[in-house]
Amino acid sequence: MLLIMIIIIIVILAGFKFYYSLSSGMCTCDARMDGKVVIVTGANTGIGYETARELAQRGARVILACRSAQKGIAAVDSIRTATGNTDVVFKQLDLCSLRSVRIFAEDILNTESKLDVLINNAGTGILDNSLTEDNIPIEAQVNHFAPFLLTVSLLPLIKKSAPSRIINVSSLMHKFGKIDLNKFHKQAKNSFEHRRVYSNTKLANILFTNKLSKDLKGTGVTANSVHPGVVSTDIFRDKYAITKYLIRLLFKTPLQGAQTSIYLAVSPELKETTGKYFVDCCKARTSASGQDADLANKLWDLSCQVVNSEKKDL
């Protein structure tokens, strides 16, 4: 009886895996990226790595923005070897430190003459309620406040490089998010609040994207968000071993998860598409909260306050 149950479970899991392999939208666009400059955060592993590798394969200058120098340099070497593109570089960026974000942005502004695509890919799903050195909850800072600061800091170069693109990696989990502006930037008081932090930050990604798209209208800069799918990545590196095994068995591969980000970065047909949410290389609907313009405006003001940015107007 136990053997039969095990076989049934294996068949069901295999069916899920087969379904994902068929339903994962793949980027079929073969557009080159020669002469383009791209930044991909969290590019040393997972979706970010596969995104960076594909864009390097298409001829872009790719900047891997990662926290770990060792892993970042190893990823650069791997991508250079795989693609033959030597214009792939590592620059250190620790999203747990707003100081690191500012140093990174200043370096980019001083050394790069253009920035065609910014992909805010890095994120965390760790169940850690601790605070960063900036006194902000880790998930809130890594998933929203640091990418917010990075983006607004790089906007002068992005606008100068128009037509250019900003791509924010969000998640289907945003549909479970509910942002309380009095609590969003503060440490969760209980386990119930903390379990919702990830979804709240992913909703913040959607709201930030929509606010950007409206404020940048007419500049030639587009901003879109992405749900990469349920992907087996290092975002779950701190989970239990059995959880990680099931994730690898059931979820999309990082290469499959990278497809929509790649599509948004390279597709000529999306040159003027902005303020949209994409799943499997297709436009999709966000939650009603994701379309709340008033909430987006208030979140923008809060974000400026939290990161001490004066760039309230674009």
Residue type, 60: A
Active-site residue (options: 198, 245, 263, 277): 198
- Give which of 165, 169, 174, 223 is closest to 199, Cα–Cα: 174
Alpha helices in the chain (DSSP H): 2-23, 46-57, 69-83, 98-111, 138-140, 146-160, 191-195, 197-215, 241-250, 254-266, 293-307
Enumerate residues 6+ apart whose C-beta is below 8 A from 311: 152, 153, 155, 304
Active site residue 198: yes
Using an 8 Å Cβ cutoff, are 302 and 184 in contact? yes
HSE-up (13 A, CA, CB side) for residue 198 = 13
- Residues 41 and 137: their CA atoms lie apart, in Å, by 19
The single residue listed with the structure tokens 């119930």 is 192
Residues annotated as catalytic are: 198
